[in-house]
Amino acid sequence: MSLINPLNNTQPVAGASQPVVPAPQTTSTAQAARTESSGQTTTTGNPFLDAIRLPEDSLIPEANNQELTQEDFFSLLSQQLSMQDPFKPVDNDKMIAQMASFSTVDGINNLNDEIINLNAVMTSSQALQASGLVGQKVLIPSDTGFITDISDVDRELRGVVSTPEAIKEITVRIEDEKGQLIKRFIIDGSEGGNVDVSWDGLGTNGEPASSGIYSIKASGRIEGKSEELAVSAYAHVTSVSLGNASTGAILNLRGVGGIKIGDVLAVSES
């Protein structure tokens, strides 16, 4: 009577090669495979595979903070006391000086944090105060201004001409964004210093200029030579931005852009 192979449930055929039956795993191999699948170990039981397996732990060390803290200082002080020569102990004055130096450094760090917080509070307070300028006109160090046809007040462009000395006649030129001459007129500069100048928004023929950006140019004769003079223009404040500790509050000007509140030269009622 022939025996039946319990693995494949077929009878052996004479002359045919017998199938290779895998040997059962040993206790150590099976345990290694099970522990690997559960994530408890990285070994497979095969020395060759274990040798070429990439390490799962990262070889890149984590970035550590290089700043010494109060705990680090006391740890160093404890090591210093434990390693000192019993016949030549550390002088009490030196130990107190070390503790005082570290306390000073720690106090400076805390002071820096408080200054940062104070700057943030001052920035917010400055923005709150600058909000009172919304709707006002401020004098800025630029000869460029913006006019609109919303109202007669917004149509007028005003500025200040700065003269190094008294000039009898100052020639004022109004130019558009392209540099084209819109109007030319003369103002009195005999008093010298800062001379107010205004343009009603009308061209040479009395026609109203369109809304847009215009520049005020001024020139006068100084020591017999015609020279360009510095001009500052008024701009309408539409809103205020908080900014940061370095810039402070920013005034947003109609048609012109933003300017630091510290760069404002003067404030006008309208």
pLDDT per position in the chain (270 positions), as tens?
444 444 444 444 444 445 444 444 444 444 444 444 444 455 666 776 666 665 555 555 555 556 666 677 777 777 777 777 777 776 777 767 777 777 777 778 778 777 777 777 776 777 777 788 888 899 999 999 999 876 555 688 999 999 999 998 999 999 999 999 999 999 999 888 999 999 998 888 888 888 899 999 999 998 888 899 999 999 999 998 876 666 778 899 998 899 988 899 998 876
Measured in degrees and rounded to the nearest 5, phi and psi for residue 248 equal: 75, -165
> Among 160, 127, 128, which Cα is nearest to 142's?
160
pLDDT confidence of residue 171: 94
Domains of the chain: 133-268 (2.60.40.4070)
How far apart, in whole angstroms, are the C-alpha atoms of residue 216 and residue 177?
A: 11
CA distances (Å), origin 155, targets 48, 49, 146, 158, 212: 88, 85, 8, 10, 10
pLDDT confidence of residue 70: 65
Whole-structure pTM value = 0.55
pLDDT confidence of residue 1: 41
Token duo for residue 222: 């100084």
Region for 24 from its dihedrals, namely left if φ exceeds 0, alpha if ψ lies in -120 to 50, beta otherwise? beta
